Amino acid sequence: MYETLKIVWSIVSICLVVLILLHSPKSDGLGGFSGQAQLFSSTKSAETALNRVTWFLTAAFLGLTVMLSGGWLTKPSVTAPIPAQVAPATQTAPNAQPIPLNLPATTPASPEKTE
């Protein structure tokens, strides 16, 4: 069911993009300068129907987005059992010696004055 809804969601999104691109512009924009603003004129009833279908697809897209992102329809995934913790090794490595902490501090050499 989850995969089917993802396919429907994809189809709705593509249809929504196409419908938005089919809308006539509300203003002439740059087309008003060349006189081609009325090239693709539409009737009032066609524009109303286009608006209604666009709003319906917008609501469907948002509803499907919430359903798919909410994770309500996914199958519960099988998780691996937690592995048993291993106790740390108590033996030290062979021939291991402690690091001496009384190392002499190194200071940068002072530059010698040359005259």
Tell me what the pLDDT averaged over the chain comes to.
74
* pLDDT given for residue 27 in this prediction: 59
pLDDT tens sequence across 92-111: 667 777 777 776 667 666 66
Residues of the chain scoring pLDDT < 70: 26-43, 74-78, 87-93, 103-105, 107-115
Q: Which residues of 27-41 are buried (b: 16+ CB within 10 A; e: fewer)?
A: eeeeeeeeeebeeee
Q: Where are the domains of the chain?
A: 1-18+44-72
